[in-house]
Structures are given as structure tokens and as C-alpha cells.
Structure 1
Amino acid sequence: MARIRYGARTETEIAAARTTSAGLPDIWSTGVVAVWESDPYAVAAVLPPPLEPTGRPLVRATVSTVGLPGYPLGAGSVAVAAGHRGVEGWYPLVMPMTHERALTGGREVFGEPKKLGEVTVERDGPVVRAVLARHGIAFVEIRGAVSAPLPLPGPTRKTDFYFKFLPAVDGSGFDLGPVLVHCVRNEKVRRLEQVTGDVVLRESMYDPVADLPVRTLVGITLGEKTSDQKGRVAERVDARALLPYLHQRYDDPQQILDGPPEGSV
């Protein structure tokens, strides 16, 4: 009888899948990272409690191509500096990905705000251009020229903060209590170059990162890196405090019954 592919997997098959995923080789990405100081009020305004602003109102845009076995992946992120219980890290607002396969695990396991989008990293000699786009709008563009090699940093440990939740079936609040996830990555870098250039933020109703303007450009780099990642639930959060930020995750507020469409009475 033919195998029913939607049927249950055996315990042996499940164990084999876990063993295979645990033994994957390093996967390297080539990416452009831009960091800038923005408006302190704007950075603080996008942080759901219990996250808090850090000492500097930093914003980070990352635009990468990832050498996944079998198919290339474009992966991006726009995040703001945040702190939680003495841990400093980044709170991503949007994470465009070019393939659905990259969306599901991150969203369902960690609570990452991943969405399908266009991610471009181009280099022509010293000239570099990196773009994050969705709905036909290039809402982040990083452009410049490689100006100097940079010394390689040692292995570093970085933390991203995510909120994992499920909107309620009846459209009121959440099903089960939302949690704050600390996702820790151990990162290795094998090439790093300085880029002299600028960051352009374009207006988008879907990805309004233009609300986090570039006040002072801290720096732009082009590099190759690899990292692992492990997540843990840091704490259960107040659902009422998180609810006003729920719209960050969705393009259309009607998806979460957040409010009436524009122009309604």
C-alpha cells in the first residue's frame, strides 16, 4: 500500500529528523548591516512591556543572502535596541524572508515577526546595494561603497527578543497567555568590510520603519557570518499590556479585528 504522506510519522522517523537537524554544518550568509541612532521617543514607543529602551536609541537593519542547502534564501530584519531584566539585545519589528519555509519555523517556534518579502544584496566592485521590499515598496535601502577591511571579531553572543502568541479564536485577546522569548545566537564572522554610504527609509503603510528616522549613522558593514540559535521562554507577559502592540505583526488590522478600516463610520 502506498505511503499516506499526511499520516503519522513513526517514533524512529521523528528521532531521525531531530538527529539530522542537530548535525547540520555551518550555514554562511553574506549580508549588509546598518546601525543608526534614531529618535528616542520613537524607539521607546515600539517596545511592548516588559521590554525597555537601552542607553542609546539604536536601530539595526540587516539584509542577507543565506547559503541554505538546495536553495538560496534572502533574509532581512529591522530591529530596535531593547533590554529585559539586565539583558540587552534587539527587538525585531519585521523580518522579510523570500521563502515560506523560512517563515513557519521561526514564527511558530520562536514567535519571530517573519513575513514574505523581497531581499536583495548586490555588489559590483566596491559598490554595494541592499534592499528590503514588500508590496512593491523598497522600504529600506542601504547603499554605498566598500571603503576598508575590518578586523574580524571573535565569537559573539547576541540576543533577540520575540513575543510568541496566538490571537483568540473569537477575536478578543489571546488563546493562551503570550510569552516573551529570548533567542540567543552564537555568531562567527569570517569576513568583514566597512561600507561608506547611507540608509534610505521609504514610507510604507505595511512596514512603517520610516517612523524610526536616521538621526546619526553609526556604521554600515558587509560581511560573511554563521550562527546557531537557541530560544527559551523568559517570562509570561501581561496579555492586556501586549494587546495594543498586536498590530505590529500584521499587514491588515482586520486580520486581528484590531479596528475598522480607514474611512468607515
Structure 2
Amino acid sequence: MARVRYGARTGAEAAAARAAHSRLPAVWSTGVTALWESDPDAVAAVLPPPLEPTGRPLVRVNISKVDLPGYPLGAGSFAVAAAHDGVEGWYPLVMPMTHERALTGGREVFGEPKKLGEVTVEREGLTVRAALARHGIAFVEVRGAVSGPLPLPEPARRTDFYFKFLPAVDGSGADGSGFDAGPVLVHCVRDERVRGLERITGDVVLRESVYDPVADLPVRELVGITLGERTTDQKGTVVARVDPGELLPYAHQRYDDPHQLLDGPPEGSA
């Protein structure tokens, strides 16, 4: 019988796949990073317990093109500053990716809030434009011009916080928690190296989207925009079990939920 590729892999094949994964070369990306101070109450409102705000209500967006061999990828992240158990880091609210393959590893393994979307990074001369779009709406756009080189930073380590969970098959779960199993908090530690960095003079535009409501985290004070070439590796660790009742009100952050249309408008809207 011919090989049935959906059949079980042999032990040797599984071992070969693991070995190939461990030998992956450094993958470099070119991307725009924007950092700003937002409304402290809005930042605190998006953090599920046990995450807490830091001393500064920062928001960070990264929009990149990743140089995967034969498989170019657009990748984005919109995150707010957060802290857990004495560790400060970032809590991503949405991570648009241009390919399904990029979603599965991060979402199913680490609990990353990845969704299919459009990612744009363009440079023409000194002019730079980067955007994240879904459902036909560029809900984040960074625009500007290169205003000069920046010194290369030393290799750095940062922590991202993710919640790993699965919604219950019947909507409520055996224990009524809404999840099929107890959710966990993941610390994902990334080591980053930079080989090129330039300053961008420009601005950040946040557009209204019912599915990606990042406009609720306005730019109060722009800290800076850069264009850089980076490579990172990462290691995730489950650090805590999470109270399902405290996490459930935030689970809609992960998915495109049609019931979001029933959510009230932002305060102050007409």
C-alpha cells in the first residue's frame, strides 16, 4: 500500500522532525515598532487576573516581515505593558499573521492570540508605512520617514504573557467554567538580537474595528518609532493555574465573536 501521509508517523520520522526543528537557523525580520503611553485605566481594563498594570501605561505595536526561507511571513503584535509575580513584560491583545501555519504553533502551543490578517511593511526611500488589517480595516497604521540611524542595542531579553485555554465543547464545561480544562498562564521569554536600527519620525493611527478594538487604547504620548532588523528565540513555561471565572470575561479577546456586536459602544461615543 502506498504511504498514507495522514497516518501515524514512525518513531524515526518523529525524531527526525524534532532534530530538524532544533537546527533551525536564525530567522531575521524587518519591522516597525511603535511605543506610546495610553490611558492607564484602559490598559488596566484589558489585563486578565493575575496580570497587573506596571508603573507606566505603555502600548507596543510591532509590524514585521519575516524572512522564512521560501515562506515569507507577515507578523504583527499589539501588546500592553503588564506584570506578574514581580516580572514585567508585555500582554499581546492581538497578533495578526498572514499564514495559517504561523497560527497553529503559537496559538495551540503557547496560547498566543494569533489571528489571520494582513500585514504590510513598506519602505520607499525614506518613507515608511506599516499596517495591521483584518476584515478590510487597517486598524493600526504607522506612518513616517527615516530620520537617522540608531546605535545597536545589546542583546536583550523580554517576557510576553499568554493564557492557554480551550473553550468548552458544550459552551459551559463539566464544571461550568466555560473551558474544557483549567486555563494556565504562560511566561514566554524571548532573547532578541538587532543588526540594524533606524529612527522613524511619524505617527500612529488607530482605526475603529468591532473585532480589533485597539482604538480604545489611544496614543496619549508617543515614545518613539523605529525600523529594525531583528532575530529572536523563545521558550515558554507554564507558571500558574488561572481561575477560570476570572479569565472567562476576557476570553473573547482570543476569537472573532459575533456577539461582540452586542457590546456597548465606547464611553463618550454619540
Task: Tell me the TM-score normalised to structure 1 length.
Answer: 0.96
Offset of residue 122 of structure 1:
0.3
Superimposed CA distance per residue, residues 24-48 of structure 1 (whole angstroms, 9 cap, x where no aligned partner) = 1100000000000000000000000
Which residue, 247, 251, 266 being the options, matches 1:242?
Answer: 247
Shift of 1:166: 0.5
Q: State whether residues 59 and 81 of structure 1, in contact with CA within 8 Å, keep that contact through their aligned partners in structure 2.
A: yes
Question: Distance in 2 between the 1:92 and 1:228 partners?
Answer: 17
In the alignment, what sits opposite 2:184? 179
Return the letter of the residue paired with 1:205.
Answer: V
- The DSSP-based 3-state class of the residue aligned with 2:30 is strand
Contact preservation (8 Å) 2:210, 2:261: no
**Alpha carbons 1:247, 1:253 under 8 Å: kept:** no
TM-score, structure 2 normalization: 0.94
Could you give the per-residue CA deviations for residues 45-82 of structure 1, whole angstroms, max 9, x where no partner exists? 00000000001000001000000111210000100000
Which residue of the partner structure matches residue 229 of structure 1?
234
Deviations 1:4-32 (A, max 9, x none): 11110011111110110011110000000
Q: Secondary structure at the match of 2:198?
A: strand
CA contact (8 A) 2:94 2:212 kept: yes
AA matched with 2:8: A
Contact 1:34 1:199 in 2 (8 A): yes
Q: Please provide the CA RMSD for this pair.
A: 1.3
Quick one: structure 1 residues 179 and 32, their matched pair in 2 at CA, closer, same or farther if it must change by over 3 Å?
A: same
> Is the contact made by 1:180 and 1:235 (CA closer than 8 Å) also made in structure 2?
yes
Question: Secondary structure of the residue that 1:230 maps to in structure 2?
Answer: strand
Deviation of 1:252 after TM superposition, in Å, equals: 1.6
Q: Please identify runs of 4+ aligned residues in structure 1 that moved more than 3 A.
A: 259-263
The percentage of aligned residue pairs carrying the same residue is 80
Deviation at 1:260, TM superposition (A): 8.8
**CA offset at residue 104 of structure 1?**
0.6
| C-alpha contact (below 8 Å) 1:37/1:57 kept by paired residues | yes
| Aligned mates of 1:229, 1:14 — CA distance in 2 | 22
Structure 2 SS opposite 1:159: strand
In structure 1, the partner of 2:104 is 104
| Structure 2 partner of 1:219 | 224
Say whether 1:147 aligns with 2:166. no
Partner of 1:189: 194
Equivalent position of 2:114 in the other structure:
114
> Match of 2:75?
75
Q: Which runs of 5+ in 1 are unaligned?
A: none
- 2:133 — aligned with what? 133
Letter in 2 for 1:83: A
Q: CA deviation at 1:148?
A: 1.1
Residues 262, 143 of structure 1: alpha-carbon distance in 2 compared, 3 angstrom cutoff: closer
- Cα distance between partner residues in 2 of 1:107 and 1:57: 26
Does the 8 Å CA contact 2:143/2:204 hold for their aligned counterparts? yes
Aligned counterpart, 2:22: 22
- Asked whether the 8 Å contact 2:156–2:191 carries over to 1, the reply is yes
Q: How many angstroms apart in 2 are the aligned matches of 1:10 and 1:71?
A: 27
